[in-house]
């Protein structure tokens, strides 16, 4: 209340108000009598807690911060002082990634597995099958049954079994889904349907088949699998793992102490059902309850890890210790985590072989700790203790004889320990060093030497390349130094192959070349088995890179030639690894795969290839069928289509499985795609093989048949329509019956057949199919849209289709349904729509199409504007601007200027379109040039480098039109502006500016150029030193053009300065730059005379770099061609006297190029160079001389006596 009550009435009113508030209190705000968990919010936290902002607890394992480490976080003492660091705003701008950022990720070579999609990852699940029997070995004799080799019959039987199993599982799944599964077992029928349990869902005390329903005491005795018990029995106790080790299970207070029972006798299940009798105790009824007073104490001298001790009561519930035991059902036991033996497997792993009981393999992966799992599950104290123990053990380990010999001089000997000496064993440390139990596979295990205390060498010794961590699993034997003379021949061969493969995979190019040659030459000596057993697993590695795969595939290619028919047992192994290459996204990988399979087919033969791949044709996995079809197509291209036709005919008409028919028809499709027009001689046979597939009962078979017809028609274009007569009728029926993917395939087939027809038939079929196409224009399916666009393009491209029909029937729905924003987003749709629209324009004219889309140049979506611009560019590039009227012309220029200025991502689409349209309009663009140039000049001042570059590129595209429109003044102004921008710092922009200057110089001429050439060229000389390829190419082109047409405007001294700069350009990587440079030397020599230029070039013959010398010799030959040979030959022949091999070879190469360039003119100079050639023929290095004689003899049929004099030198050299 606002005021204090003073009178009696006020006090009474205040009391009533307080009571009213209490009565109105919500029940949810109260606390029940038996409720828990209510805290005072102001003390223990909450939205209005007065301790909000304080740290409520300190972690026990965390270390306190240093006193001088001031951070801005809160603490018990309130706000800490801020430290000296970057501003918070700057730190917040740094993206905090959850994953650790790897700065070198983009520089590492990408792995093949990183770019594979889900479908292509199937290749890693494929199994490299064992070797198969070669029926052609030993002259075709019956194989010895003791060989145990897999025959064709075994493979087919396995395939049939797998197929049946899969079908049964599928039927069961369908019945379960429909609720039609019936239980045939009467006992199980009474059970309610329960969720299927897995091994890892069951606890140790759960038994399959236990009756979950509570039964009366009268029923229990007759129920099988139930433990007979009295109602007075003890409450069931805990399951195995909770009792004290060595406890007596199943005993009662009044039971006698059992006698000695061996561990093996305690296994139930021999004679009596487990649970009916306690093993080791005659007829006693077992109970789950345990009494610690009844247990026989276990002595300390029992060997740990064994079964029962001599004084130990045998246990019935041995769990994993015995094989095949079924624990007592119905005994629900509570477990405590403190009683369990530590489990060894990680979460989610499949339990195998008594987990948590028997230690398997290397003790805890070299970790002397009893904690379960790995080191990560240790507490910090355990981890510290383990590290300390490991260090102590390492330091105090017994010294080996080799180490003692290295430490002491000779003469010492090792004394035997005294009798009865026992080393001290610390019990605590002994306990900590107990091996961690690990799950492993059952059966005998060959133990390997324990090298835990030795330094592990992760690199091979000797002259072997670096071994990556991923390769250790394949080349681990090379890490062990062994005396190879003690190894068996097979082991020696294995190590030799391993070394060669490591050199090929990771070695330097010379090492790789030598190893590749060695493994090829010794292929038959090594044998096919040892080679492929090491190469093929490497190719299946998940960490394989493209370069490594290329090298290993090259190894297989080389050894196939050598092994020849020895590869037959390994054909399937090789195919499993190589077939995935056929669907790789990399073109060169696909080519490599085809080459390997082609060579394999030639080495193994057709019969072996068919018998090997036949089981995969009707494989249940679609991935296997797809790759097998592509491999068969390669076999057909290698061995010829006729040899495969009988097999294809049988497969495509298979009645046992539709998968076989589907794969056979797909083989025909892939043959057509792979071989192209080479199928024409066999076209009719191939069509007859697959024509029945168009009316098959399976939808997938009908679809692939239509696609195969489409592929055959595409390969046969423009021939072969008579071979398709038999399929026209089913195709025609199909497009009226099918929907979805089937319709798309049938439409695609008709689309490829119509261009093969005569004009009158094409017109009729186009009109008929267009009704269905127009209906499918509005289909939402993206694949259907692509096919419809393709078919429309093909139909409208034929001769019989009339333009008027296209205008009235096709264009209105076409633009309504296809010219939408969504089509511009998908690149494949974008490309197909542009191509189809251009094809329509070829029929109906440019104006008809452009008038419908010109307004879209001002659309708000940039990607859509680009699609419009690209379409207009292609239409006007093909058809010109003749039928575009004045109004459409204005709309076009206006839209293009808008689209050019509004682009946010500068690419070549807008630039190319602008240039094409302006050039197509020609003189008609003159009224718009001031506006265009104003836009260009304004964009040359833009702060974005991309915008400036595009503006300069546009000048180079429109310079020819400016000349046509006689706008020389405008071009002169642009030349001055560009000259001022030659200080541009971005090399891409500078290259475009030089290209624009070159375009202006070309069209305006040297005498009208502003700025004058004498000012422009000295400004270009320092730019020649720029190492950017675009700058170099455009600059040298501009300098060469000036040297060709305006050399007189520049002094000779400036040209010589440029000559010295040009020598550096001869080192350029790009061939176009080197070609332009040597041509420029010719222009300069023509301008200022050959002597100074020749002196510069001859001096350059002394450099070490071969490419530089070769380009210099070409330049000398061009100078000779430009300025006549007699000006160059004396200097060249004089230079030959220099006793330096590079110079003499350079002179000979120059003469070779010179005679090649001057042709028949060389006959006048044959006698002049004869003494030089005779001297060269007597020199040791004669390769250049041999190359020289070819052009000199080709260009000169006269001078026979000279050639006769050369014969003595030729025979002498031979």
3-state DSSP call for residue 270?
Answer: coil
Task: Give tens-digit pLDDT for 348-363.
Answer: 444 444 444 444 444 4
Q: Is the pLDDT of residue 687 over 50?
A: yes
- Min mean pLDDT across 208-217, 426-435, 813-822 is at 208-217
Confidence tier at 403 by pLDDT (50, 70, 90)? confident
Q: Is the pLDDT of residue 438 over 60?
A: no
Mean pLDDT for the stretch of residues 862-875: 95
Confidence tier at 401 by pLDDT (50, 70, 90)? confident
Task: Give tens-digit pLDDT for 124-137.
Answer: 777 777 677 666 66
Mean pLDDT for the stretch of residues 1151-1170: 85
Enumerate residues 6+ apart whose C-beta is below 8 A from 992: 948, 949, 950, 952, 953, 956, 1030, 1034
Q: Where are the domains of the chain?
A: 115-136+466-614, 845-1011, 1026-1213
- Rg for the chain (alpha carbons), in Å? 45
Mean pLDDT for the stretch of residues 321-337: 46
Task: Give tens-digit pLDDT for 190-201.
Answer: 455 555 555 554
pLDDT at residue 313, rounded to an integer: 46
- Min mean pLDDT across 322-326, 1019-1023, 1029-1033, 1126-1130 is at 322-326
Confidence tier at 311 by pLDDT (50, 70, 90)? very low
Mean pLDDT for the stretch of residues 491-506: 90
Task: Give tens-digit pLDDT for 203-252.
Answer: 444 444 444 444 444 444 444 444 444 444 444 444 444 444 444 444 44
pLDDT at residue 101, rounded to an integer: 72
pLDDT at residue 715, rounded to an integer: 94
Strand partners, 79: 74
| 1026-1213 matches 845-1011 in CATH topology | yes
Highest mean pLDDT among 481-490, 535-544, 943-952, 1156-1165: 943-952
Q: Is the pLDDT of residue 425 over 90?
A: no
Q: Is the pLDDT of residue 730 over 50?
A: yes
Confidence tier at 791 by pLDDT (50, 70, 90)? very high
3-state DSSP call for residue 238?
Answer: coil
User: At how many degrees (to 10) do helices 945-964 and 968-980 cross?
Assistant: 150
Residues in the chain: 1214
Write out the two tokens for 221: 């005795």
Mean pLDDT for the stretch of residues 1092-1116: 90
CB 1018 within 8 A of CB 982: no
Confidence tier at 1069 by pLDDT (50, 70, 90)? very high
Which residue reads 């026992």 in tokens?
422
CB 357 within 8 A of CB 320: yes
Write out the two tokens for 764: 């009729």
pLDDT at residue 1177, rounded to an integer: 77
Calculate what percentage of the chain has a pLDDT beyond 90.
39
Mean pLDDT for the stretch of residues 948-973: 93
Task: Give tens-digit pLDDT for 745-773.
Answer: 999 999 999 999 988 888 888 888 888 99
Highest mean pLDDT among 152-166, 369-383, 670-684, 727-741: 670-684
Which helix (H) or strand (E) element contains residue 78? strand 78-79
d(CA 206, CA 326): 9
> Which CATH code is given to the segment(s) 1026-1213?
1.25.10
147-153 long-range contacts, CB within 8 A, separation 24+: 149/569, 152/611, 152/614
Task: Give tens-digit pLDDT for 70-101.
Answer: 444 444 444 545 555 666 665 565 555 555 67
Mean pLDDT for the stretch of residues 847-861: 93
The DSSP annotation for 87-129 comes to -HHHHHHS---SSPP-TTGGGSPPBGGGG--TTGGGGGG---P
Task: Give tens-digit pLDDT for 898-927.
Answer: 999 999 888 899 999 999 999 999 999 999
Q: Is the pLDDT of residue 703 over 80?
A: yes
d(CA 247, CA 506): 60
Residue 776's Cβ-count burial label (10 Å; 0-12, 13-18, 19+) is buried
Exposure letters 903-934 (e unless 16+ CB within 10 A, then b): beebeebbbbbbbbbbbbbeebbeebbeebbe
Task: Give tens-digit pLDDT for 590-644.
Answer: 999 999 999 999 999 999 999 999 888 988 889 999 999 999 999 999 999 999 9
pLDDT at residue 639, rounded to an integer: 94
Q: What angle do CA 518, 523, 527 make, to 5 degrees?
A: 140
Residues 845-1011, CATH architecture: Alpha Horseshoe (1.25)
In angstroms, the Cα distances linking 652 to 610, 702, 705 are 14, 12, 10
Residue with more model confidence, 448 or 763: 763
pLDDT at residue 20, rounded to an integer: 80
Residue with more model confidence, 892 or 465: 892
In angstroms, the Cα distances linking 716 to 207, 653, 676, 800, 1166 are 68, 24, 7, 20, 55
d(CA 256, CA 281): 10
3-state secondary structure 402-426: HHHHHHCCCCCCCCCCCCCCCCCCC
Confidence tier at 277 by pLDDT (50, 70, 90)? very low
Strand partners, 277: 274
d(CA 812, CA 804): 13
Q: Is the pLDDT of residue 445 over 50?
A: yes
Backbone angles phi, psi at 396, to 5 degrees: -100, 15
């Amino acid at each position: 209340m606002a005021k204090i009550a003073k009178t009696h009435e006020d006090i009474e009113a205040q009391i009533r108000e307080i009571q009213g508030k209490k009565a109105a209190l919500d029940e949810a705000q109260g606390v029940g009598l038996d409720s828990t968990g209510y805290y005072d919010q102001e003390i223990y936290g909450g939205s209005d807690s007065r301790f909000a902002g304080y740290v409520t607890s300190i972690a026990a394992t965390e270390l306190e911060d240093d006193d001088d480490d001031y951070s801005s976080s809160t603490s018990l003492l309130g706000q800490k002082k801020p430290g000296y660091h970057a501003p918070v705003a700057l730190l917040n701008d740094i993206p905090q990634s959850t994953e650790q950022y790897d700065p070198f990720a983009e520089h590492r070579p990408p792995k093949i597995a990183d770019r594979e999609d889900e479908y292509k990852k199937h290749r890693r699940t494929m199994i490299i099958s064992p070797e198969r029997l070669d029926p052609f070995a030993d002259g075709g004799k019956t194989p010895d049954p003791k060989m145990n080799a897999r025959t064709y019959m075994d493979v087919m039987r396995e395939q049939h079994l797998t197929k049946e199993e899969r079908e049964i599982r599928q039927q069961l799944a369908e019945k379960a889904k429909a609720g039609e599964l019936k239980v045939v077992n009467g006992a199980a029928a009474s059970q309610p349907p329960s969720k299927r349990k897995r091994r890892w869902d069951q606890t140790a005390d759960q038994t399959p088949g236990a009756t979950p329903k509570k039964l009366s005491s009268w029923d229990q005795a007759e129920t099988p699998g139930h433990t007979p018990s009295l109602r007075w029995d003890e409450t069931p106790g805990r399951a195995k793992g909770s009792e004290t080790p060595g406890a007596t299970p199943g005993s009662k207070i009044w039971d006698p102490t059992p006698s000695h029972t061996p561990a093996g006798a305690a296994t139930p299940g021999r004679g009596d059902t487990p649970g009916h009798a306690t093993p080791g105790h005659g007829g006693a009824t077992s109970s789950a309850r345990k009494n610690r007073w009844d247990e026989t104490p276990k002595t300390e001298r029992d060997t740990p890890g064994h079964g029962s001790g001599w004084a130990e009561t045998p246990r019935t519930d041995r769990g994993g210790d015995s094989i095949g035991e079924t624990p007592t059902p119905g005994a629900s036991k509570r477990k405590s985590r403190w009683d369990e033996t530590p489990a060894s497997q990680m979460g989610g792993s499949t339990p195998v072989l008594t987990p948590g009981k028997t230690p398997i393999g290397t003790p805890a992966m070299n970790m002397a700790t009893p904690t379960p799992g790995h080191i990560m599950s240790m507490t910090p104290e355990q981890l510290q203790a383990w590290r300390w123990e490991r260090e102590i053990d390492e330091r105090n380990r017994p010294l080996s004889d080799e180490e003692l010999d290295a430490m002491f001089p000779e003469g010492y000997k090792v004394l035997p320990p005294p009798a009865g000496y026992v080393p001290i064993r610390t019990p605590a440390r002994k306990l900590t060093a107990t091996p961690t139990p690990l799950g492993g596979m059952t059966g005998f295990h060959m133990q390997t030497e324990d090298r835990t205390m030795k330094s592990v060498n992760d690199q091979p010794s000797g002259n072997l390349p670096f071994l990556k961590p991923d390769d250790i699993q394949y080349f681990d034997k090379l890490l062990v130094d062994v005396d190879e003379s003690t190894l068996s021949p097979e082991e020696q061969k294995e190590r030799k192959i391993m070394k060669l493969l490591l050199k090929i995979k990771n070695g330097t190019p010379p090492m790789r070349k030598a190893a590749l040659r060695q493994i090829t030459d010794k292929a038959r000596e090594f044998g096919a088995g040892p080679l492929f057993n090491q190469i093929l697993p490497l190719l299946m590695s998940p960490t394989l890179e493209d370069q490594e795969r290329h090298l290993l595939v090259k190894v297989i290619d080389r050894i196939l030639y050598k092994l020849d028919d020895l590869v037959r047992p390994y054909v399937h192994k090789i195919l499993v690894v190589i077939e995935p290459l056929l669907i790789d996204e990399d073109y060169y990988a696909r080519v490599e795969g085809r080459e390997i399979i082609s060579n394999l087919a030639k080495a193994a033969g057709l019969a072996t290839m068919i018998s090997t791949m036949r089981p995969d044709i009707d494989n249940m996995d679609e991935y296997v069928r797809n790759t097998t079809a592509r491999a068969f197509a390669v076999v057909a291209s290698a061995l010829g289509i006729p040899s495969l036709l009988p097999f294809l005919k049988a497969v495509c008409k298979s009645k046992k499985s539709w998968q076989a028919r589907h794969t056979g028809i797909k083989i025909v499709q892939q043959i057509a795609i792979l071989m192209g027009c080479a199928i024409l001689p066999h076209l009719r046979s191939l069509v007859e093989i697959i024509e029945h597939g168009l009316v098959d009962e399976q939808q997938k078979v009908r679809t692939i048949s239509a696609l195969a017809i489409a592929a055959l028609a595409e390969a046969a274009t423009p021939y072969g329509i008579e071979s398709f007569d038999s399929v026209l009728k089913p195709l025609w029926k199909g497009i009226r019956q099918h929907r979805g993917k089937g319709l798309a395939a049938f439409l695609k087939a008709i689309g490829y057949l119509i261009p093969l027809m005569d004009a009158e038939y094409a017109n009729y079929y186009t009109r008929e199919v267009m009704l269905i196409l127009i209906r499918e224009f509005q289909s939402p399916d993206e694949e259907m849209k692509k096919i419809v666009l393709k078919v429309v393009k093909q139909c409208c491209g034929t001769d019989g289709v009339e333009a008027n029909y296209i205008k009235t029937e096709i264009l209105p729905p076409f633009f309504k349904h296809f010219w939408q924003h969504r089509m511009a987003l998908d690149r494949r749709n974008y490309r197909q729509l542009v191509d189809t629209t251009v094809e329509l324009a070829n029929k109906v004219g440019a104006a008809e199409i452009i008038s419908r889309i010109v307004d879209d140049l001002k659309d708000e979506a940039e990607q859509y504007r680009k699609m419009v611009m690209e379409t207009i560019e292609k239409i006007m590039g093909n058809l010109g601007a003749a039928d575009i009227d004045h109004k459409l012309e204005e709309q076009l220029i206006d839209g293009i200027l808008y689209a050019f200025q509004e682009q946010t991502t500068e690419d070549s689409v807008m630039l190319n379109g602008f240039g094409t349209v302006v050039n197509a309009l020609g003189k008609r663009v003159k009224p718009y040039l001031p506006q265009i140039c104003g836009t260009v000049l304004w964009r040359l001042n833009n702060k974005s480098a991309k915008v400036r570059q595009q503006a300069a590129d546009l000048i180079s595209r429109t310079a020819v039109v400016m000349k046509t429109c006689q706008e020389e003044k405008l071009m002169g102004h642009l030349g001055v502006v560009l000259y001022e921008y030659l200080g541009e710092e971005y090399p891409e922009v500078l290259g475009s500016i030089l290209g624009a200057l070159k375009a202006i110089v070309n069209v305006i001429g040297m005498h009208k150029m502003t700025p004058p050439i004498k000012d422009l060229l000295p400004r270009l000389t320092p730019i020649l030193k720029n190492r950017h390829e675009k700058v170099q190419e455009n600059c040298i082109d501009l300098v060469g053009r000036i040297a060709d047409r305006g050399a007189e405007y520049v002094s000779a001294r400036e040209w010589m300065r440029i000559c010295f700069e040009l020598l550096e350009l001869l080192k350029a990587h790009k061939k176009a730059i080197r070609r332009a440079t040597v041509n420029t030397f010719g222009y300069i020599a023509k301008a200022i005379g050959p002597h100074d230029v020749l002196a510069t070039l001859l001096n350059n013959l002394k450099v070490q770099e071969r490419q530089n010398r070769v380009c210099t010799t070409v330049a000398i030959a061009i100078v000779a061609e430009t300025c006549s040979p007699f000006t160059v030959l004396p200097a060249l022949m004089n230079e030959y006297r220099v006793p330096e091999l590079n110079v003499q070879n350079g002179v000979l190469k120059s003469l070779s190029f010179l005679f090649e360039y001057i042709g028949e003119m060389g006959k006048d100079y044959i006698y002049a160079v004869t003494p030089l050639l005779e001297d060269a023929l007597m020199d040791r290095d004669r390769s250049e001389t041999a190359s020289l004689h070819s052009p000199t003899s080709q260009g000169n049929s006269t001078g026979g006596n000279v050639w006769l004099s050369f014969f003595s030198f030729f025979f002498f050299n031979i």
